[in-house]
Amino acid sequence: MILAWLILILFVGGLAAWLADFVDPKLPRVVALIFLAVDGLLLLNVLGATPFTPADASGEWLAYLKADWMPRFEIYFQLGMDGLSWLMAILTVFLGIMATGAAWNEIHERAGFFYFNLLWTLAGVMGVFVALDLFLFFFFWEVMLIPMYLIIAIWGHENKNYAAMKFFIFTQVSGLLMLIGILAMAYFHYLQFGVFSFDYFALQNVQLAANTSLLVMLLFFVGFGTKLPTVPLHSWLPDAHSQAPTAGSVILAGILLKTGAYGLIRFTVPLFEDAARAFAPVAMTLAAVSILYCAKVAFAQTDLKRLIAYTSVSHMGFVTLGVFAWNEQAVQGAVMTMLAHGLSAAALFMLAGGLQHRIHTRNMEQMGGFWPRVPRMSVIALFFSIAALGMPGLGNFVGEFLALIGAFQISITLTAIAALGLILASVYSLWVLQKVFQGSYENDKVDDAALVDLSRQEMVFYFAMMAGLVWMGVYPGTFLNLSAMTLGSLF
């Protein structure tokens, strides 16, 4: 039941935040924070459980729930949480709190409705991370779209309509293709066993011809690959990220992209292992192309948020690489990259959003020499840039390093090419720092009246994320052990 509560609390919290707006416009953010904190505590409580194997499942689970939903098609309200789900769920709650912090002083207009959308997006994401019935999974997968669309379309920047629409159409169309894939699996189960089934464990027993398997897997891959995103399905992302409000960018980059990666690890490869192996060379090539191409494109941006968006695509390339290498090290690397990138990208978007909030532009051509003006912000930007470029001792390094080691065992050439991405990452990261924070300061380029350093309250949020990255970097065992719980049953 606890899993249903995890989701329900966020849905209810959203409604409560909206209603709170009618009492006092300052209240919704507090309500949102409280509900997120409760959700987080509940999640920590789950970790205390002893792993067990439910009767109708396999693998080890911390919590599990199965209830009737649509008996006509054997669709169940089936949720399960293991180590991987737990890591993703805690990332969701943690970044949810960060996003609330980012919106704290930025969103004043219709705040209640904003936090409603924020919490409903998170509820959908939470559902995605714990759903084991594929229909339920798809349900949550789509539930998160509408509130996210509204966040971009209402509180976004100058070109919000275009960006929000593009985001929606890309994810919706790719989602429908995935739905066809899911229904095809259910139907194949019907053909082989006489009943429809959307059960994750039952569908693993479906035997498919190699060609069919490859086609259905491709439908799943398009769905997840668009969200991830991987070249060539990535073009929605820079628009959505740059137009979304800060909190929107934080959950987009930090969490929503991870649902795609999660889907690949949880569903695509386990359900179609042979097809995934056959497809691996293509997927890994796409990953390498994503890493290099988007790093290069990032370097060509003048819009700060757009630049960070492209680097996200580039970093997510390591995830694809790791997942399709499909050995324990590689997938561990992918999971670590997901977590670490979640924090570093969220922090960078918060910094970019913070800058935009202060000087009303994202154009880097107009920035420069901010270090003396905002020393605290600059140091923090330096920290997260270095984290993003993969400095040993921080989480991102562990993730990308493991992904590359794992991939090396599958394809030396592709790994070598992908590793070049680490060099490009250093180039663009340091270039941004030079461009924005170093150099000479000219105050006629920007309206610097509001250019003040980070407040103590903002520092708290950044410190929390820095602590997370350092933890991942120096003692990754905490996280690796948890995901090993899932991965152990996959290989």
Partner 1 sequence: METAITIQDLVPLLPVLVVTGVAVLAMLLIALKRNHTLIGATTIIGLGLALITAFLVLPFAGQQVTPLLMIDNFSLFFTIVILLAAGFIAVFSFPYLYHLKDEVEEYYLLLLIATIGALIMVSSNHFLSAFLGLETLSISLYAMIAYPLHSKEAVKFPVEASLKYLVLSAVSSALILFGIALLYAQTGSLQFTELAMTGGSVADGYFITALVLLFAGVGFKLSLAPFHMWTPDVYEGAPLPATMYLATVGKAAMMVLLLRFVVASQALSFHSVVVVIGCMAVLSILAGNLLALVQENLKRILAYSSIAHMGYLLIALIALDDASTRLGVEAISFYLIAYIVMSLGAFGVATVISSSEKEFDFVADYQGLFWREPWLALLLTAMLLSLAGIPLTVGFIGKFYVVLAGVEGSLWGLLLVLVVGSGISIYYYLRIVYRMLLQPQLDQAYREAGWDSIGSYAVLALLLALLLLLGVYPGFLMSIIEVVSVSI
Contacts to partner 1 by CB under 8 A:
68-73, 135, 138-139, 142-143, 145-146, 149-150, 153-154, 161, 164-165, 168-169, 172-173, 176-177, 179-180, 183-184, 186-187
d(CA 262, CA 239): 23
The one-letter code for the residue type at 199 is D
18: nearest Cα among 2, 35, 6: 35
Q: Which is nearer to partner 1, 35 or 138 (CB)?
A: 138
Reported residue count of the chain is 491
52 has which bridge partners? 61
Q: Which is nearer to partner 1, 37 or 177 (CB)?
A: 177
Q: Which is nearer to partner 1, 179 or 433 (CB)?
A: 179
Q: Which is nearer to partner 1, 124 or 238 (CB)?
A: 124
Q: Which is nearer to partner 1, 156 or 473 (CB)?
A: 156
Encoding tokens for residue 160? Answer: 């919000």
Least Cβ distance, residue 269 to partner 1 (angstroms): 22
Q: In sequence order, what DSSP letters do the residues of 260-329 get, joined into one string? A: HHHHIIIIIHHHTHHHHHHHHHHHHHHHHHHHHHHHHHHHT--BHHHHHHHHHHHHHHHHHHHHHH-SHH
Q: Which is nearer to partner 1, 179 or 430 (CB)?
A: 179
Least Cβ distance, residue 188 to partner 1 (angstroms): 9
Least Cβ distance, residue 146 to partner 1 (angstroms): 6
Q: Output the CA angle 200-324-261, nearest 5 degrees.
A: 60
Least Cβ distance, residue 130 to partner 1 (angstroms): 16
Please give the distance of CA 341 from its chain centroid, rounded to a whole number. 8
User: On the CB side of 43, how many CA atoms lie within 13 Å of its CA?
Assistant: 27
Q: Which is nearer to partner 1, 123 or 287 (CB)?
A: 123
Q: Which is nearer to partner 1, 181 or 390 (CB)?
A: 181
Least Cβ distance, residue 1 to partner 1 (angstroms): 18
Least Cβ distance, residue 325 to partner 1 (angstroms): 30
Encoding tokens for residue 371? Answer: 């270090």
244: nearest Cα among 162, 310, 152: 152
- For 92, other C-beta atoms within 10 Å of its C-beta total 30
67 has which bridge partners? 77
Least Cβ distance, residue 394 to partner 1 (angstroms): 38
**Checking phi first, is residue 447 left (phi over 0); if not, alpha (psi -120 to 50) or beta?**
beta
Cβ atoms 69, 127 nearer than 8 A: no
Least Cβ distance, residue 236 to partner 1 (angstroms): 12
